[in-house]
């Protein structure tokens, strides 16, 4: 048996949409399919504006730029996340300030945030880890109290609902990913959401070299001017067309993943060395990844190797940023400040999770996991 960690789902609808885009001749960024995706995505999560972007890292970069964050500023980031979150802070010459995480949700521990706020703090970037929304009520309350921006890193959380509001609709800006491991995907890609017209206009301009897009200039000819130092962060219309089809299936995909997660939970509940992911009823987990926490006496890396020998691909959860050399000279990286992150980094294990995964395959995964843990 060969079970991958993740596998995107495509069928003839995506193929047909790609063909249509190729026939129009508009395959570059900021074209008609980009516009359609922006409108549908904004409607889906309930915001006024959505802007297609080449990937979520670029989205985070542009969000920080649009909010005026730069040299000398500090941005609060959870310590347990993919480095892209903190990389974007460094891109604008600001300083990432790491916060330890909650041991059950793996999201930022909101009780620790205010201790790290200084006169230089300008924003908080909560990460909705593995598809579970961070404690946004507490984060927004803290942000309002200290006049901080909130940028939601919702890379893993398309379709997550937190108290009836979608991830990416609660902060000043939301940033999403359409990478191949995400619930909906075009291979690579991203989108930014906001309810602020000025922020949306700035991001749209910055994503296209600091000028107006070619598609928006088709009706009335004029020579654009470059008013900002912009970037080439556009999403191709081919990718936008694929994502549109995927977006229509989002709720179906989420329901399937939640069923698979429930089955995993049931099969794993009696294994004492394993902590399953948790979610409250008000916080709809979309399970971009199904990540368990192993007992500290288990060698996680050895387990990954042994499961691979059985045809089961697994992976670490994600990274402890304070342990990464790239941040050693630009952030406070004292290990004693991040006891939970260190444990979760070393003992978390992502099990296979994708739409075509079967219950029979989960049976096999759990059976082999139990055998190895003996």
Find tokens 């997660």 and name the residue: 261
Angle at CA of residue 350, ends 346 and 356, nearest 5°: 175
* 33, 95, 122, 182: the active-site residue: 182
- Shortest CA distance to 115 belongs to which of 129, 97, 128? 97
Find tokens 């309350």 and name the residue: 141
The domain defined by 12-99+108-248 folds into: 3.40.640
Per-residue pLDDT of the chain (374 residues; tens, 9 = 90+): 899 999 999 999 999 999 999 999 888 888 999 999 999 999 999 999 999 999 999 999 999 999 999 999 999 999 999 999 999 999 999 999 999 999 999 999 999 999 999 999 999 999 999 999 999 999 999 999 999 999 999 999 999 999 999 999 999 999 999 999 999 999 999 999 999 999 999 999 999 999 865 555 556 677 888 888 999 999 999 999 999 999 999 999 999 999 999 999 999 999 999 999 998 999 999 999 999 999 999 999 999 999 999 999 999 999 999 999 999 999 888 889 999 999 999 999 999 999 999 999 999 999 999 999 98
Question: Is 308 known to be catalytic?
Answer: no
Parse the chain into domains and list their residue ranges: 12-99+108-248, 250-373
User: Residues of 300-337 as b/e, b for ≥16 C-beta within 10 angstroms?
Assistant: beebbebbeebebbbbbbbbbbbbeeebeeebebeeeb
- State the DSSP code for 156: T
- State the DSSP code for 80: B
Under 8 Å between Cβ of 128 and 157? yes
The Cα–Cα gap between 4 and 209 comes to: 39
The Cα–Cα gap between 64 and 296 comes to: 37
Both ends of the chain: CA-CA distance in Å? 21
The Cα–Cα gap between 147 and 140 comes to: 10
The domain defined by 250-373 folds into: 3.90.1150
């Amino acid at each position: 048996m060969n079970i991958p960690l993740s596998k995107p789902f495509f069928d003839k609808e995506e193929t047909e949409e790609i063909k249509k885009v190729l026939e129009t001749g508009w395959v570059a960024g900021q074209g008609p399919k980009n516009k359609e995706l922006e409108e549908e995505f904004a409607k889906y999560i309930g915001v006024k504006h959505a802007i297609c972007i080449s990937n979520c890292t670029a989205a985070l970069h542009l969000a920080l730029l649009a909010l005026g964050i730069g040299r000398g500023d500090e941005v609060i980031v959870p310590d347990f996340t993919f480095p892209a979150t903190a990389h974007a802070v460094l891109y604008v010459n600001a300083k990432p300030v790491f916060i330890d995480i909650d041991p059950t949700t793996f999201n930022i521990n909101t009780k620790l945030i205010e201790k790290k706020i200084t006169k230089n703090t300008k924003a908080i970037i909560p990460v909705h880890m593995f598809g579970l929304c961070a404690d946004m009520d507490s984060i927004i309350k803290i942000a309002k109290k200290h006049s901080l921006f909130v940028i939601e890193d919702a890379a893993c959380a398309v379709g997550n609902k937190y108290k009836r509001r979608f991830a990416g609709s609660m902060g000043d800006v939301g940033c999403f990913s359409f990478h191949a491991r995400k619930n909906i995907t075009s291979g690579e890609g991203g989108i930014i959401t906001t309810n602020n017209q000025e922020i949306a206009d700035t991001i749209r301009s910055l994503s296209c070299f600091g000028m107006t897009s070619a598609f928006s200039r088709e009706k009335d000819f004029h020579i654009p001017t470059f008013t900002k130092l912009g970037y080439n962060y556009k999403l191709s219309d081919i990718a936008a067309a694929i994502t549109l089809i995927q977006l229509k299936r989002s709720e179906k995909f989420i329901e399937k993943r939640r069923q698979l997660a429930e089955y995993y939970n049931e099969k794993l509940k009696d294994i004492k060395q394993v902590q399953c992911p948790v979610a409250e009823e008000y916080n709809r987990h979309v399970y971009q990844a199904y990540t368990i926490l192993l007992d500290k006496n288990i060698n996680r890396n050895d387990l990954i190797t042994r499961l691979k020998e059985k045809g089961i691909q697994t992976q670490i959860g994600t990274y402890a940023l304070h342990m990464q050399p790239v941040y050693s000279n630009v952030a406070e990286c004292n290990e004693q400040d991040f006891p939970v992150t260190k444990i979760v980094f070393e003992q978390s294990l992502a099990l296979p999770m994708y739409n075509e995964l079967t219950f029979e395959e989960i049976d096999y995964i759990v059976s082999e996991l139990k055998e190895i843990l003996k």
